């Protein structure tokens, strides 16, 4: 039983590690902007720009927008 659990844990870890995340063009279409607005690569994908990191991701891609009080508790 323990070997089965270990095997399942290992298999699920490998699946999660190999999952690839791709850029989705819906944001480009939604805001009528080019991919380069949010990505360093002009064709999209890869590293995000400062705009995307500080505005778009926290506001548009977060499951729940942070409250002002929770942001105030963060000590950079």
Span 20-63, pLDDT tens digits? 555 567 777 877 888 888 888 888 778 888 888 888 777 776 66
3-state helix, strand, coil in the chain (%, to 5): 55, 5, 40
Phi, psi dihedrals of residue 39, rounded to the nearest 5°: -120, 145
2 has a pLDDT exceeding 70? yes
- pLDDT band, very low/low/confident/very high, at 17 (cuts 50, 70, 90): low
For residue 38, the model assigns a pLDDT of 85
For residue 58, the model assigns a pLDDT of 75
Yes or no: say if 6 and 14 are a contact pair by the CB < 8 Å rule: no
Q: How many CA atoms lie within 13 A of 60 on its CB side?
A: 14
For residue 75, the model assigns a pLDDT of 74
């Amino acid at each position: 039983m323990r070997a089965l659990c270990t095997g399942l844990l290992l298999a699920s870890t490998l699946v999660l590690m190999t999952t690839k995340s791709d850029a989705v063009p819906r944001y480009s279409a939604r805001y009528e902007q080019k991919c380069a607005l949010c990505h360093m690569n002009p064709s999209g994908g890869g590293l995000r720009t400062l705009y995307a990191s500080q505005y778009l991701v926290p506001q548009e891609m977060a499951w729940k927008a942070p409250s002002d009080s929770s942001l105030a508790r963060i000590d950079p």
